Amino acid sequence: MTAQAKTKQHHTISHGKIFFKNNHDYSNEVKLFKIAAQMEKEHLPNIFIVTAIKTALEFEGVADLLNLWSEEDEKTEKEEIISDIQDMIDACNQKETSEEIYVKFNDLAAIAKNIRAFKDSLYQKVMEQGGISKLAELTGIPQPSLSRFFNSNAMPRRATVLKIAKALNLDEIKIDILWCR
């Protein structure tokens, strides 16, 4: 424990138990754990919930989105917020190291022209292997986020493609073929 931490934390001993008094306000953390319980009641994947909370504890923007989600009543808005949370998690957790599956993004212009074809081809693979719900279970990406991924014509995030490829057991060659269709 650092000297700074020692000065902020005081403890007393009573009846053989140590009680810590800390100047840190834990109310935000407690609120996040309450949101996690709410998400579990709404049957979001446990891996998504845990990852969201861990990320929110480190990144305030994710915590803000979780709070927004918990206060929202409209189902479609909540699904959009879940998608935004997943995007933020992916952005916050990007690693410098390379993944075991390699996706080539050498010709972004060619890929951009074929995004719809790529996503449609990938969607067929998803349907062959159990559908969106099964993919959500395998990847930990919430079903609304996956639906938005497949329905939009936006350039896919590399992290999302890697998670999907890993879940579908696609290798580099198969992904390249999908991009070229």
Judgement on whether residues 28 and 74 belong to the same structural domain of the protein: yes
Radius of gyration of the chain (CA): 21
Q: Does 117 lie in the same domain as 94?
A: no
Tokens of 172: 């580099």
Low-confidence ranges of the chain (pLDDT < 50): 1-9, 98-99, 173, 180-181
Per the structure, the count of domains in the chain is 2
| 136-140-142-147 Cα dihedral, nearest 10 degrees | -40
pTM: 0.51
pLDDT of residue 168: 87
pLDDT at 37: 95
pLDDT of residue 7: 43
User: What pLDDT does 14 receive?
Assistant: 55
What is the domain extent for residue 56? 1-98
The model's pLDDT over 93-106, given as tens digits with 9 standing for 90+, comes to 766 554 455 555 55
pLDDT of residue 34: 95
- 64 and 1 share a domain? yes
Q: Same domain, yes or no, for 65 and 143?
A: no
Residue 175, token pair as written in the block: 């992904």
Q: How far apart are the C-alpha atoms of 25 and 105, rounded to whole Å?
A: 45
Q: Based on the domain organization, do 82 and 162 belong to the same domain?
A: no
Domain boundary among 64, 98, 132: 98
